Amino acid sequence: MTTGRGKSQEPPAGGPARHIPVLLHDATGALRPRDGGLYVDGTFGAGGYSRALLAVPGVRVIAFDRDPDAIRSGYDLVAASAGRLTLVEARFGDLAREVRNLGHEKVDGIVLDIGVSSMQFDQAARGFSFRFDGPLDMRMESRGPSAADIVNNESEERIADILYHYGEERASRRIARFIVNARKDAPLETTAALAELVQRAIPGKPGDIHPATRTFQALRIAVNDELGELVRALAGAEEILDEGGALAIVTFHSLEDRIVKQFFAQRSGRGAARSRLLPGEVAPPEPTFSLEGRQPIAPSHEEMRDNPRARSAKLRAGIRTNAPARGLDGGLMALASLPQESRGRGR
């Protein structure tokens, strides 16, 4: 954990961010930051959302990132924050526990920007992108099993399930078969080797995305348990948000958005039919969030023009009610998990 010192209320400088946060104005606006409020930036990255929150006088921020490189890059912002920013190296799925470890029971707002930051994609040594040849790693924390471990050690069936469920790759079986056949001769150890293999398995058409795009997404999600972390973060946010506090989440693909959409729908009662209870029927739990306005919020044409990463982004937000938290949702965890047995999907 790293925290600032001093009493100055001047907004931090911290230098320019290397990563352009998407839907920054909308996401931070949904939190309605106020003087004296305590907010959580669950995905610190280059500090874009934290900077925006700290620009409001008197706001305090607890920021999380599981990537030690992101934590190190945030030291200058911590120093410039004059005691208002606390930086914690931890997964955002553990945010409720970590906030309580810091001595806080409730917070006034939480923002999450799901996925991989531009800095991670742009570092060849991290292995997140096939744009640069590097080790087939993809670990945000640089520990635990890597993408290379998955493609070289998991069964063909398991690899196909990962590609199908986390990458929505219709050719998952064919790609998995190519991977297993290739590793008989030599292990797949680089991003270029895997990207070339996928391109041989499913040659692309001019104008289409690179054939390996969905495979890389799927492996990254599996390596970092990204969807499981998201579900745990939603439950944790519900637990520690004070009444009237806001939760704002920016997602970048349908898997993430589906989980967030279902969470808010269930927790707000949106879409549920209102009817009288039958004798002996148990009343549904009170909504833990209220939703305002039309959702999701999409980036403007100008933002998409200036920041290509924004094209697929969606923002959903909710306001915490005073109803008791419901805890971890098994249905959402099922969405975040691979099936226990293969269903034979994919070509």
Q: Are residues 194 and 209 in the same domain?
A: yes
Q: Are residues 11 and 65 in the same domain?
A: yes
Which tens digits make up the pLDDT trace of 133-166?
889 998 988 788 999 999 999 999 999 999 999 9
Residue 270's nearest CA partner among 249, 254, 292, 253 is 292
| SS3 label, residue 159 | helix
Which tens digits make up the pLDDT trace of 7-62?
333 333 333 345 578 999 999 999 999 999 999 999 998 899 999 999 999 999 99
Q: What are phi and psi of 68, to 5 degrees?
A: -60, -30
Q: Are residues 107 and 241 in the same domain?
A: yes
Task: Round to whole Å and give the CA distance between 333 and 248.
Answer: 20
Segment (H or E) for 243: strand 241-251
Task: Round to whole Å and give the CA distance between 126 and 135.
Answer: 7
Q: Are residues 206 and 236 in the same domain?
A: no
Dihedral over Cα of 183, 185, 187, 192: its sign: negative
CATH of the domain at 181: 1.10.150.170
| SS3 label, residue 90 | coil
Do the Cβ atoms of 161 and 172 come closer than 8 Å?
yes
Which tens digits make up the pLDDT trace of 91-111?
999 999 999 999 999 999 999
With a pLDDT cut of 90, the percent of the chain lying above it is 71
Q: Are residues 296 and 321 in the same domain?
A: yes
Answering whether pTM is above 0.95, one says no
Q: Which residues lie below 8 Å from residue 322, measured CB to CB, with a gap of 6+? A: 243
The angle formed by the CA atoms of residues 66, 133 and 305, to the nearest 5 degrees, is 70
Residue 83's nearest CA partner among 56, 58, 53 is 58
Dihedral over Cα of 267, 268, 272, 274: its sign: positive
Q: Are residues 174 and 321 in the same domain?
A: no
119 belongs to a structural domain: no
Residue 32 in tokens:
């309605």
> In the Cβ-directed half-sphere of 93, how many Cα atoms lie within 13 Å?
13
184, 206, 223 - which closes a domain: 223
Q: What are phi and psi of 43, to 5 degrees?
A: -135, 80
Q: String of b and e for 159-195 (b: at least 16 CB within 10 Å)? A: bbbbbbbbbebebbbbbbbbbbebbeeeebbbbbbbb
Predicted local distance difference test score (pLDDT) of residue 7: 38
pLDDT higher than threshold 80 for residue 6: no
345 belongs to a structural domain: no
Q: Are residues 237 and 323 in the same domain?
A: yes
129 belongs to a structural domain: yes
Total domains present in the chain? 2
Do the Cβ atoms of 216 and 115 come closer than 8 Å?
no
Examine residue 296 and say whether the peptide bond preceding it is cis (omega within 30 degrees of 0): yes
pLDDT higher than threshold 60 for residue 342: no
**DSSP string of 301-339?**
HHHHHH-GGGGG-EEEEEEE-SSPP----HHHHHHHS--
Q: Are residues 213 and 289 in the same domain?
A: no
Q: Average pLDDT, stretch 198-218?
A: 91
Which tens digits make up the pLDDT trace of 250-277?
999 999 999 999 999 999 987 665 566 6
**Which strands make up the sheet holding 85-89, listed edge to edge?**
2-3, 85-89, 60-65, 38-41, 107-113, 241-251, 314-320, 289-290
Q: Which domain holds residue 292?
A: 2-113+227-336
